Homo-oligomer: A and B are copies of this chain.
């Protein structure tokens, strides 16, 4: 199996709300909700989805939890919660703080102030309206030799 991930699909409770958070709040570009021509039913998932193509071609999708459960053939309890985090690297501590602030204003929840970790990063988390965790990370550049606390 090739070591590659092409798509990350978040299960969401409210597709419109999730779209607003990521498109209008965080500024990701999207054509909005597509796939509405596939209505689905009690057993088959509907097609309504939001897709963002990120840098490096990774597709970031939003899909109702109910349909994700049907599509995967698992119960709704299996797609509750989060159980993972998405890491987003930035160039400075200030940018970490700025993005956390942005996410909070966009309707996310900032999970405490960013801080230094013992492994040499400065980071903080926010959760999106569905509880999915994003960690915004400043990792001092390798170009900073000597390992002094930056």
From B29, B77, B78, B130, contact of A3 by CB (8 A): B29
From B6, B73, B117, B127, contact of A87 by CB (8 A): B6
Chain B residue numbers with a CB within 8 Å of A87 are 5-9, 59, 61
How far, in Å, is A105 (CB) from chain B's closest CB?
12
A84 near B38: Cβ-Cβ < 8 Å: no
A5 near B82: Cβ-Cβ < 8 Å: no
Q: Is A80 an interface residue (CB 8 A)?
A: yes
CA distance A27 to B4 in the complex (A): 12
Given A4-B55, A55-B3, A72-B133, decide whether A10 and B119 contact each other with a Cβ distance below 8 A.
no
Chain B residue numbers with a CB within 8 Å of A74 are 111, 125, 127, 133
Within 8 A of B (CB), among A13-61: 26-29, 35, 38, 44, 47, 52-61
CA distance A6 to B58 in the complex (A): 10
A111 near B73: Cβ-Cβ < 8 Å: yes
**A interface, CB within 8 angstroms of B:** 1-11, 26-29, 35, 38, 44, 47, 52-61, 65, 68, 71-74, 77-89, 99, 102, 111-112, 117-119, 125, 127, 130-133, 135, 137
| 8 A-B residue pairs with CB within 8 Å | A1-B102, A4-B56, A9-B85, A9-B86, A72-B85, A78-B81, A81-B81, A82-B83
